[in-house]
Structure 1
Amino acid sequence: MNNKLKKRKLKIIIGIIILIPCCFLVKSLINSNEEKRIIKNNYISLEKLGNVNIATVEEKINKKHKLNDEKSGDNSKEISNKMYFEKSVFMGDSITEGLDFYDIVNKSSVLAKKGQGLVQAKKSVSILTNINPERIFVLYGMNDLESSKNSDDFKSNYIKLVKDIKQTVPSAEIYLQSLTPVQAKVQQKNNSFSQDRLDKFTQAIIEVAREENVHFIDIRPMLKGKEELFEQDGIHFKGDFYGLWLDNLKSQLKSQSKSQSKT
């Protein structure tokens, strides 16, 4: 019995040894045939390509692009905020700093710092020389609401800042933005953020823009009824706010551009 078992095992081993090379051979033949098929298909494709009229190809490509444009609508919406605002600078406090925190625009486009007001902002103006932006979006006031006695002081400091910016980068377009609203709970706890005070300080910004012949953009309407965009402190904003903010800026820039082209 032992001899029979030994012989049977030996036959199995020999069979396996013979089978393995056969498997590789079959696989090799399959791969070879597959390679031949691919080469043949590529050759046929190249042969067809050689007979194609270039003008016809271009026409098809143009039609495809046109169809995609019609489906997507306004192509400018596809341009990322980083690309659209790459030659812009955003000056402000911690609210503006969120543009960098949430990676909405390039880091080099954000010139903002937590706790900054108009007086501290003057230190940042000199940096504009190296950046040399085409547009400058300014958003200060939340810290000034607590540090400024009244809107007149605020206006005076704002005028000084705008003049400094003009002198540093005279070719840049300057856009002053309204103060952002705060939630009711903030106004109840701190009189500095009362609605009357917010309105007066924003009116001061409007006056500065008019007197200094720079642009004013009101960002308050876009936040109306959007309580979900606020952080728990009722002053700062969540990440979703920043995309809406920049979409709003782009929309207003386009409107201004259209109105200027008509005049």
Structure 2
Amino acid sequence: MIKIKRKTKRYLVILGLAAVIIILAIVIVRGVSGLIRPSVDTSAGLEYIQEQEAGDVTEIESKISLLEQQDSPEDGEDDRSVREKFGGAVVIGDSVTNGFTVYDVLNASSVISKIGVHLYETDELIAQAKEISPGTIFLALGRNDLAATEGDVDEFISQYTEVLNKIAEEVPDANIFVNSIFPVQESAIEEDPYLAYISDYNTALKELCDSKSIAFIDNTDLVEDRYFEQDGQHFIADFYPIWAEHMAEVAAL
């Protein structure tokens, strides 16, 4: 009996070892087969790509455009500074225009001004503009000419026409924009009664611009009492970025 039990025990041990060996063999075989298993069948994916390549190009371009819009600034916001916008533009005017450089709103190369200038004195300013050769010219003239023309709107328009013709001759490639004459406060009109005709002069100036297909920029709604200097005619620094942005918007700078 003792010999039988020993044989049985030996037999069980052998079976156990055999089972372990079989299990290890299965694990090894599966591992190796996983490493050498053929790549996943991509024929379906390739077929889809080929179909898309043969699809409507317009649809593909539309999707690309949508992605580009998503990458662009929200609501088409323009983050350029006002100086950058006026990089190829020049503002020609009087002492009010001079505020752009006094308050460091625009680069000096974008401003051509002369304090107290009249329309018949603009040849020098136009010559400076010719040297710069800007793509866009903004005119901000006329306030000093109300008194000079003594309220004669026809004479004013005649002189302004000469200025426009001179610019067209000297800087033919420039786009011209004409600013309206800014309103003034009552205190300024008391000092210079001719300033009361600003509205009439602006109406005639707009008609002149329309006849020449030149853009007229009405700045009347921009002006508020809080922007005036004590003299009721000139403006504080806060006003100039507002004016500049308005011009840039109209001219699509």
Q: What TM-score, normalized to structure 2? A: 0.69
8 Å contact from structure 2 (residues 86, 248) kept in 1: no
Give the AA of the match of 2:213: N
Distance in 2 (CA, whole Å) between partners of 1:139 and 1:129 is: 17
Distance in 2 (CA, whole Å) between partners of 1:89 and 1:239 is: 19
- Paired residues for 1:26-175 under 5 Å: 69-70=73-74, 73-76=75-78, 78-149=79-150, 150-175=152-177
Bigger relative CO (Cα 8 Å, ≥ 6 apart): 2
8 Å contact from structure 2 (residues 94, 113) kept in 1: yes
Unpaired stretches in structure 1, ≥5 consecutive residues: 1-62, 258-263
8 Å contact from structure 1 (residues 144, 154) kept in 2: yes
Give the AA of the match of 1:161: V
Identity of aligned residues (%): 30
Give the number of aligned pairs: 185
Distance in 1 (CA, whole Å) between partners of 2:128 and 2:191 is: 37
Rg (Cα) greater in structure = 2
- Paired residues for 1:183-198 under 5 Å: 183-194=185-196, 197-198=197-198
Sort the Cα spacing of 1:124 and 1:68 in 2 relative to 1 into closer, same or farther, 3 A. closer
Distance in 1 (CA, whole Å) between partners of 2:93 and 2:146 is: 14
Distance in 2 (CA, whole Å) between partners of 1:126 and 1:250 is: 23
8 Å contact from structure 1 (residues 86, 105) kept in 2: no
- Structure 1's consecutive aligned runs of 4 or more residues displaced over 3 angstroms after TM superposition are 65-68
Give the AA of the match of 1:109: S
8 Å contact from structure 1 (residues 93, 112) kept in 2: yes
Give the AA of the match of 2:251: L
Give the AA of the match of 1:248: H
Q: What TM-score, normalized to structure 1? A: 0.66
More helix by share: 1
For the aligned residue pairs, the C-alpha RMSD in angstroms reads 1.9
Residue matched to 1:235: 233
Residue matched to 2:249: 251
How far off its partner does 1:176 sit? 0.6
Unpaired stretches in structure 2, ≥5 consecutive residues: 1-66
Residue matched to 1:27: none
